[in-house]
Structure 1
Amino acid sequence: MRLRVYEIADTEEIMNLFYDTIHEVNIHDYTQEQVAAWAPANMDIDVWIKGLGSKFTYVAEEQGKIIGFGELEPNGHIDRFYCHKDFQRKGIGKKILEQLASKAKTLGIDKLFTEASITAKPFFESQNFIVVKQQEVERRGQKLINFVMEKSFSNSKLLDSKQ
């Protein structure tokens, strides 16, 4: 596996990864209506190109196939962060998170934060993120539960994980 910076040519494959992961992995924690609202079939590629290009976006690939991606905003917010449905629990997320943390350090960011899904919460907890609060968000008329989570550089080593 190798990590690299996002390129515009990656967009369609990233969109498919996002859609498939939510519809085949997150479906275990959310209803069909919720996942359809979260990852609709008719996503706009131009919106994705703009979004992915406006952040520090990294992709993980193996044998030319994108198997994960993560986005870091300049304020330390981790936005979209997904691993391919066929590459769950293989260390891909940890490697992407390490890359985002490294980038954050070079930017002088002292805290990472995200809104983790029910599905992603255990992963972020395993990487020493703490739950700040549970919240309900609305996507296309559907309410979904997620968790505001953060990890401070000053309170722990950013790249440490629970053993």
Structure 2
Amino acid sequence: MPDFHPLSWATPTDTAALADVMFDAVRNGPSKYTQAQRAAWVPERRRGAEWETRLAAKDIAIGRDATRILGFMSIEGGGYIDFAFIRPEAQGSGLFRRLFDMVQERARAADEPRLWVHASLMAQPAFAAVGFSVVEHQIVQIGDQDFQRAMMEKPLVTAV
């Protein structure tokens, strides 16, 4: 099991490493998607101005070991979690929950009424484990591949 250093927030210098984590998680980790679907979803490591601009619009929690980023999760305005990726060797280690706790704390501090995500088949159990419920099952197309996913949400404010 990897030894985690304290979690932190990503900086612009982390964009290439985040692309590596995403590629590794989708292309090399366990999956309920076919190889063709995985290749359509992440055909290559993300890079360039579009990737950097997309990441810059989010707060991104990262978890590292002694040498590299093992996972990350993003939060943006409106409580949307756009990215949640864990390298294969760190899956099942508790890193997802630790990143989620950090993101949830940031959302609560911003008075977001809820968190929501478009969760892949692989991510749905992890999000359910931290209190998310499925709002809607969806099928989306990326390239020539259809993907099942779910829109899930977790209320952050409780009725009094």
Is the TM-score greater than 0.5?
yes
1:92 matched to 2:95? yes
What's the offset of the Cα at 1:24?
1.7
Aligned to 2:60: 57
Picking from 140, 146, 151, the partner of 1:148 is 151
Which residue number corresponds to residue 161 of structure 1? none
Q: 1:6–1:52: 8 Å Cα contact kept in structure 2?
A: no
- Pair 1:5 & 2:9 matched: yes
TM superposition shift of 1:42: 5.6
Structure 2 portions without partners, runs of 5+: none
- Maintained 8 Å contact 2:81/2:117: yes
May I ask how many residue pairs the two structures share in their alignment? 155
| Residue aligned with 2:7, SS | strand
Residue 128 of structure 1 aligns to a residue whose secondary structure is coil
Match of 1:137 in 2: 140
Structure 1 length normalisation: TM-score? 0.89
Which residue identity is paired with 1:106? A
User: CA RMSD for the aligned pairs?
Assistant: 1.5
Structure 1 position 24 matched with structure 2 position 28: yes
Residue 2 and residue 42 in structure 1: after superposition, are their counterparts in 2 closer, same or farther (change >3 A)? Answer: closer
> Identical aligned pairs, as a percentage?
26
- Pick aligned residue for 1:36 from 36, 39, 56: 39
Q: Are residue 118 (structure 1) and residue 121 (structure 2) matched?
A: yes
Work out whether residues 29 and 87 of structure 2, in 8 Å CA contact, stay in contact via their aligned partners in 1: no
Deviation at 1:16, TM superposition (A): 1.1
Alpha-carbon distance change, 33 to 127 in structure 1, aligned in 2, over 3 angstroms: same
Partner deviation per Cα, 1:15-49 (whole Å, 9 max, x = no partner): 111011101225x3011111111111263332221
Question: How far apart in 2 are the matches of 1:154 and 1:132?
Answer: 17
8 Å CA contact 1:11–1:45 kept in 2: the answer is no
C-alpha separation between the residues in 1 aligned to 2:117 and 2:158? 17
Render the CA deviation track for 1:63-96: whole Å, top value 9, x for unaligned: 1410111110110010011111110011101011
**Does structure 2 conserve the Cα–Cα contact (< 8 Å) formed by 1:113 and 1:148?**
yes
More deviation, 109-118/5-14: 5-14
Per-residue deviation, residues 4-24 of structure 1 (Å, max 9, x unmatched): 111122111111110111012
